[in-house]
A and B are shown apart, each in its own frame.
Chain A
Amino acid sequence: MFETLVMDGGKAGQMEATISWAWHTAAVCKGWQVHKSEKGKWSLTARVVRADRFKLQQQPLRFNVPRQGGHWSWPVKAVTVQDQQLTAALGPMEC
């Protein structure tokens, strides 16, 4: 649909988003930004508010952004956290 796409957590990045392992919350993020490259690769950068390191190592993980009536959601293919900065490779967005 889009050549490239950038989504973020709004002004000042205050909108919280989560990474979940089934019903468990593996991480809560703010200041997040999802990017879709020209080659169709999705990626995530975010600031970690809190994280469960054990659950972040599990699979399958999903990145969830709340929206009216539900969530935008992406499968998380790989994730790293360093100094409260989270980066992840995502699969295609699933509404």
Chain B
Amino acid sequence: MGRNRLVYPEEVRLPLSDGDYIDVKKELNAGEYRKLLTDQFKDTDEKVVLDPTKVGITKLLAYLLGWSLCGRNNERIPYHLEQPEEIRRTTIDSLDKDTYRELMAAVNAHEEREEAALEAKKNDRRTVPASSAI
């Protein structure tokens, strides 16, 4: 039997400091991954080049579904996928630097864990012994 090759949407909650959390996609599907790659580049007159100002924020936008983050007076900072991407981008840009770094670290660690888990699954499939002939 073949393996599952579809990404079913699953949400993962990642803890942050001070009891806060972010909700992220467990895994990006091919379309989301392709968008993540292409959104990090910019067109110049001569060629397409990596835009360093978009590298981190693009990954956050790709993974982030929601959070518990608050502003002044303990009011929840709105962040949800129904918002236009530009609003979500400027919301992230308005966070303090420490929070931005913490979000990046949490998402990067999550991505590394998921990739390691996928790699382990691949290795398991390779090492499954062939069933013996009847």
Contact = CB atoms under 8 A, between A and B. Distances in A.
Nearest to A66: B82
Interface string B55-69: 000000000010000
Interface residues of B, number: 8
Contacts of B81: 23
Interface in A46-71: 58, 66
Contacts of A66: 82
Contacts of A24: 9
Interface string A1-37: 0000000000000000000011110000000000000
Interface residues of A, number: 6
Interface in B71-124: 81-82
Nearest to A58: B8
A66 B10 CA distance: 23
B11 interface: yes
Contacts of B9: 21-24
Residue of A21, A23, A24, A58 most packed against chain B (CB within 10 A): A23
B83 to A, nearest CB: 12
Contacts of B10: 22
Contacts of A21: 9
Contacts of A23: 9, 25, 65, 81
Nearest to B10: A22
Interface of B: 8-11, 25, 65, 81-82
Given A22-B11, A23-B25, A66-B82, 8 more contacts: A21-B9, A22-B9, A22-B10, A23-B9, A23-B65, A23-B81, A24-B9, A58-B8
9 contacts: A21-B9, A22-B9, A22-B11, A23-B25, A23-B65, A23-B81, A24-B9, A58-B8, A66-B82
